[in-house]
């Protein structure tokens, strides 16, 4: 049996990122039903949770309720294209509120980077008709600098 101590840099090993999403971002979305928005970095590239990284904490803070057109409800979840609720389950952003998820998120503690996105699901209208709303999404991320490898251990 072999054991490996993982190198964790407490300074740069834990990062915190915050995205602000407003109704203007939703107005640019065409189409009806649930729609996804990639979480982008300042360089325009999609943010990915690094290989073997995990989310320690996530928060959706709705500072201004989303509204407009004939919307009767609007929810937002955070995850990947394959697991849209992997970080945060569907939360109403049709009213102000703060939704926190604490603890290790094993959903994304994987051997591949995970591109994160938000999924917005409107009721009774399309996202493009939003005229109000603002929220922040905050993620505390643990980056592991030792890659994950799969090995067969023989007794």
> Is 89 inside a domain boundary?
yes
Answer whether residue 1 is part of any domain. Answer: no
pLDDT, tens digit (0-9, with 9 covering 90-100), for 110-128: 677 889 999 999 999 999 9
Q: Is residue 109 part of a domain?
A: yes
The rounded distance, in Å, linking the Cα atoms of 110 and 72 is: 37
**In a domain? residue 6:** no
Domain count, the chain: 1
The answer to whether residue 151 sits within a structural domain is: no
Residue (of 117, 48, 123, 67) closest to 88 by Cα position: 117
Within-domain flag for 23: yes
What residues does 40 pair with on adjacent strands? 46
pLDDT surpassing 80 at residue 67: yes
Residues in the chain: 155
Q: At residue 140, does pLDDT exceed 60?
A: yes
- Please tell me the predicted confidence (pLDDT) of residue 154: 64
The per-residue pLDDT for range 75-95, each reduced to its tens digit, is 999 999 888 998 999 999 999
In the chain, how many H helices and how many E strands? 2, 10
Mean pLDDT lowest among 12-16, 25-29, 58-62, 96-100: 12-16
In this prediction, residue 8 has a pLDDT band, given cuts at 50, 70 and 90, of very low
Residue 127 CB burial class (10 angstroms; 0-12, 13-18, ≥19): buried
Strand 117-123 to strand 35-38: parallel, antiparallel, or no bridges (unpaired)? antiparallel
Residue 57: pLDDT over 80: yes
Domain range for 104 is 14-142
Q: Is residue 150 part of a domain?
A: no
CATH of the domain at 26: 2.60.120
Q: How confident is the model at residue 142 (pLDDT cuts 50, 70, 90)?
A: confident
d(CA 126, CA 145): 42
DSSP H helical ranges for the chain: 10-13, 23-27
């Amino acid at each position: 049996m072999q054991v490996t101590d993982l190198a964790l840099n407490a300074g740069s090993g834990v990062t915190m990122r915050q995205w602000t999403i407003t109704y203007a971002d939703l107005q640019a979305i065409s189409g009806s039903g649930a729609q996804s928005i990639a979480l982008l970095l300042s360089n325009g590239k999609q943010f990915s949770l690094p290989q073997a990284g995990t989310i320690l904490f996530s928060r959706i803070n709705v500072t201004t309720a989303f509204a407009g057109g004939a919307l009767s409800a609007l929810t937002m979840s955070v995850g990947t294209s394959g697991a849209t609720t992997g970080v945060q389950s569907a939360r109403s952003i049709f009213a102000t509120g703060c939704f926190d998820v604490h603890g290790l998120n094993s959903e994304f503690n994987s051997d591949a980077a995970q591109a994160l996105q938000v999924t917005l699901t409107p009721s009774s209208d399309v996202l493009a008709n939003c005229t109000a709303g603002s929220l922040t999404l905050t993620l505390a991320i643990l980056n592991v600098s030792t890659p994950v490898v799969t090995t067969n251990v023989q007794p």
